[in-house]
């Protein structure tokens, strides 16, 4: 499974959806999850870059797991997600900073069809507040943007979470350009 995580990590970096050492990826396996280590370069993931931790409570390995482990746990416990991709997509972050409300409304037809409104949630990196807010939001949405931080996208498999990540970033990019041209 670490090879699938590695493949998605490389795609995220290669497509400019995240800088190498930022973001994280996880997969649920029963009552456990595989999650990238804290500080792991997503385009260089090897077997030792992935940690297995339980979904219930914390473990000794949490100290080396992603700083967002608590957030991934909460999402898995409160949604049908089996895979999560967290990326620091530049246009999604920008749109969260520019937004007048608590959501992004895509202007492109694909975004409207596949995403609908994209919620913007608040909470500190790796905080219980963020875990609660994202878990609640992702119970009914496939993706959300954390204000000034990045996207969290879910799926039944990693490829689905990756596609949701790319769709959010694409829609945020189109909206940015559209708003820029409209306001000239």
Q: Catalogue all structural domains in the chain, each as residue range(s) with its CATH number.
A: 2-179 (3.40.225.10)
Q: Are strands 83-87 and 32-36 parallel, antiparallel or unpaired?
A: unpaired
Residues in a beta bridge with 52: 34
The string of pLDDT tens digits covering residues 100-112 is 999 999 999 999 9
Cα distance between residue 8 and residue 42, in whole Å: 8
pTM given for the model: 0.95
Q: How many CB atoms lie within 10 A of CB 126?
A: 16
Tell me, rounded to whole angstroms, the distance of Cα 137 from its chain centroid. Answer: 12
The number of helix segments (H) and strand segments (E) in the chain equals 6, 8
The string of pLDDT tens digits covering residues 39-95 is 999 999 999 999 999 999 888 888 899 999 999 999 999 999 999 999 999 999 999
pLDDT score for 58 = 85
């Amino acid at each position: 499974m670490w090879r699938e995580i590695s493949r998605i990590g490389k795609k995220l970096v290669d497509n400019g959806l995240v800088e190498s050492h930022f973001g994280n990826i996880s997969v649920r396996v029963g009552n456990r999850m595989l999650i990238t280590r804290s500080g792991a370069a997503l385009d260089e993931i090897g077997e030792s870059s992935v940690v297995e931790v339980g979904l219930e409570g914390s473990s000794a390995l949490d100290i080396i797991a992603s700083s967002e482990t608590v957030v991934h746990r909460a999402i898995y416990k409160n949604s049908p997600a089996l895979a999560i991709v967290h990326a620091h997509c530049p246009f999604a972050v920008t749109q969260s900073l520019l937004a007048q409300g608590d959501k992004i409304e895509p202007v492109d037809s694909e975004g409207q069809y596949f995403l609908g409104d994209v919620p913007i949630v608040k909470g500190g990196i790796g905080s219980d507040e963020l875990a609660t807010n994202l878990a609640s939001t992702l119970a009914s949405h496939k993706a959300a943007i954390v204000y000034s931080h990045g996207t969290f996208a879910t799926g039944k498999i990693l490829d689905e979470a990756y596609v949701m990540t790319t769709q959010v970033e694409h829609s945020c990019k189109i909206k940015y350009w559209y708003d820029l041209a409209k306001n000239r």
